């Protein structure tokens, strides 16, 4: 598999005498991409601390930029609520957001009567949680204490930044109430518009189908797999099911043609979308 070598992380490894060969390969059985070795907690801490949100953003980003980011987070929160709550099918209950970021999804659920809380690794985000009045805890996702049992657990755009994600999936299963729902949201890495590639900070590289496979191995039964706005929502409950059919050869072909598809289809499409939005805004329709 093609991957991106982050120079700063490469130097960090060399300074610690880590000379192991590194690369990515696609599992011929499940279709997930895996690195030569899992990122250590220390490597992940370096990767995130390099772009610490309190150092990078607080001094360089304007209020307007933060407003845009919060507005985007609120849109994502509303979308997640619309996708997940029909699967719960009863009155508001307990909700946990793993890697909750700015905390807007936790707030969205809490404002609608849910007992909601979040966990995030970045201490710089705690002040944002306090500003919007949500309950949250800060610490490594892999070892963070989980307070009781939950009806809905969300892991949004974070599962591939967690060391040994299969261990986390099994651990979260133990924190789900009977008929509880685990919703894992990932980027649609196979989309023409997506230009990203895995690197040192990633623990694996899933598609919607290959993530289903990983969830089945961890003791889940899939209830939803839906592509929405560049993301893939995969929801599951604890249960036993046959391993889903995955097509690793097709996934591999899609990755091999990704750069070409992005250049010929993805980038022009995104450009046209931006132009259309600008025109609508100019005439007061957006």
pLDDT, tens digit (0-9, with 9 covering 90-100), for 60-115 = 555 666 778 889 999 999 999 999 999 998 789 999 999 999 999 999 999 999 99
Average pLDDT over residues 185-210: 96
Average pLDDT over residues 259-279: 93
Whether the predicted pLDDT of 198 surpasses 50: yes
Whether the predicted pLDDT of 6 surpasses 80: yes
Split at pLDDT 50, 70, 90, the class of 51 is: low
Question: Are 25 and 33 within 8 A, CB to CB?
Answer: yes
Count how many domains the chain has: 1
**To the nearest whole percent, how much of the chain has pLDDT over 70?**
94
Average pLDDT over residues 176-205: 96
- 1 located within any domain: no
Give residue 116's domain range: 26-282
pTM: 0.91
b/e string for 115-141 if b means 16 or more Cβ within 10 A? ebbbbbbbebbeebbeeeebebeeeeb
Split at pLDDT 50, 70, 90, the class of 266 is: very high
Q: What's the pLDDT at 281?
A: 81
- 7 located within any domain: no
- 4 located within any domain: no
Could you give the CA distance from residue 190 to residue 14 in angstroms, rounded to a whole number?
32
Higher pLDDT, 59 or 97: 97
52: number of Cβ within 10 Å: 13
Could you give the CA distance from residue 34 to residue 206 in angstroms, rounded to a whole number?
9
The CATH number of the domain holding residue 197 is: 3.40.50.150
Q: What's the pLDDT at 284?
A: 80
Could you give the CA distance from residue 282 to residue 254 in angstroms, rounded to a whole number?
37
- 17 located within any domain: no
């Amino acid at each position: 598999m093609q991957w991106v070598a982050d120079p700063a992380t490469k130097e960090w490894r060399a300074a610690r005498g880590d000379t192991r060969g590194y690369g990515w390969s696609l599992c011929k059985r499940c279709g997930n991409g895996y690195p030569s070795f899992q990122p250590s907690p220390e490597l992940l801490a370096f990767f995130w601390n390099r772009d610490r949100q309190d150092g990078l953003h607080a001094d360089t980003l304007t209020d307007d930029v933060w407003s845009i980011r919060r507005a985007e987070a609120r849109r994502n929160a509303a979308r997640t609520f619309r996708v997940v709550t029909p699967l719960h099918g009863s009155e508001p209950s307990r909700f946990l957001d793993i890697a909750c970021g700015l905390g807007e999804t936790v707030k969205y659920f809490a404002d609608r009567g849910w007992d909601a809380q979040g966990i995030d690794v970045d201490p710089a985000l705690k002040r944002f949680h306090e500003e919007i009045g949500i309950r949250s805890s800060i610490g490594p996702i892999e070892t963070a204490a989980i307070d009781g049992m939950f009806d809905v657990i969300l892991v949004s755009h974070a599962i591939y930044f967690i060391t040994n994600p299969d261990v986390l999936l099994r651990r979260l299963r133990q924190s789900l109430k009977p008929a509880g729902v685990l919703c894992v949201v990932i980027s649609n890495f196979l989309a023409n518009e997506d230009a990203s590639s895995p690197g040192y900070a990633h623990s694996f590289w899933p598609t919607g189908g290959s993530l289903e496979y990983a969830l089945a191995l961890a003791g889940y039964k899939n209830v939803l797999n839906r592509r929405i706005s560049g993301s893939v929502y995969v929801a599951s409950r604890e249960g036993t099911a046959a391993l889903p059919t995955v097509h690793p050869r097709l996934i591999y072909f899609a990755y091999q043609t990704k750069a070409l598809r992005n250049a010929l289809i993805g980038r022009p499409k995104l450009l046209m979308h931006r132009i259309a939005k600008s025109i609508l805004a100019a005439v007061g329709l957006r």
